[in-house]
């Protein structure tokens, strides 16, 4: 007995996740998308994974050896998430926020809560998605604003963490 896709997606909607903008390319030719399917794989060496739908318009821009930056959005950046999830052209997406680079040259959102600047080491195709493994080459911790979470198909804002 299998589980149908709709039932699975409905259950997965109840698994809350941080909202991120994942970028590649350069400041002159950037590409990016909104992702909640991001997680740490290991801290030695520091490695993250990102899942990207294989039918995404930006899929061809993400390839092994390429730069990739995972920018964790703050509670006040829901609008940026929406722009990067929209049908807007890439140059229009990057008009939101302020961008710079770290080690790899991938665009880094200056206002992000944290940015993980990676090199894509491996891409594994699984069903409808490409699972990209990024080796972290540098990172930047931003402000301590609250986080932006996607849960039950709705955005939720987390309060800032108390400094202690």
Q: Express each pLDDT in 7-60 by its tens digit.
A: 988 898 888 899 999 999 999 999 999 999 999 999 999 999 999 999 999 999
Q: What pLDDT does 147 receive? A: 92
Residue-wise pLDDT tens digits, 73-119 = 999 999 999 999 999 999 999 999 999 999 999 999 999 999 999 99
Q: Return the CATH number at 39.
A: 2.30.110.10
Confidence of residue 144 (pLDDT cuts 50, 70, 90): confident
Residue 12: inside a domain: no
Residue 65: inside a domain: yes
pTM score of the predicted model? 0.94
Residue 4: inside a domain: no
Looking at the chain, list the stretches that DSSP marks H as alpha helix, in order from N- to C-terminal side. 5-12, 78-85, 90-93
- Cα separation, 20 vs 81, in Å, equals 7
* Domain of 153, in residue numbers: 17-157
DSSP state letter for 160: P
Q: Count of domains in the chain?
A: 1
CB 133 within 8 A of CB 51: no
């Amino acid at each position: 007995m299998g589980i149908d896709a709709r039932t699975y997606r409905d259950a997965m909607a109840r698994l809350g996740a941080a909202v991120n903008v994942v970028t590649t390319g350069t400041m002159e030719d950037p590409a990016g998308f909104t992702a909640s399917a991001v997680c740490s794989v290991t801290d030695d060496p520091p490695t993250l994974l990102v899942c990207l739908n294989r039918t995404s318009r930006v899929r061809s821009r993400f390839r092994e050896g390429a730069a990739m930056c995972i920018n964790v959005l703050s509670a006040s950046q829901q609008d940026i998430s929406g722009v990067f999830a929209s049908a807007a052209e890439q140059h229009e997406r990057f008009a939101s926020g302020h961008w710079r680079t770290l080690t790899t040259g991938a665009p880094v959102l200056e206002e992000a809560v944290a940015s993980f600047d990676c090199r894509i080491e491996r891409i594994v195709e699984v069903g409808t998605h490409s699972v990209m493994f990024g080796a972290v080459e540098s990172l930047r911790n931003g402000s301590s604003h609250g986080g932006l979470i996607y849960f039950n198909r709705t955005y939720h804002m987390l309060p800032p963490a108390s400094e202690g």
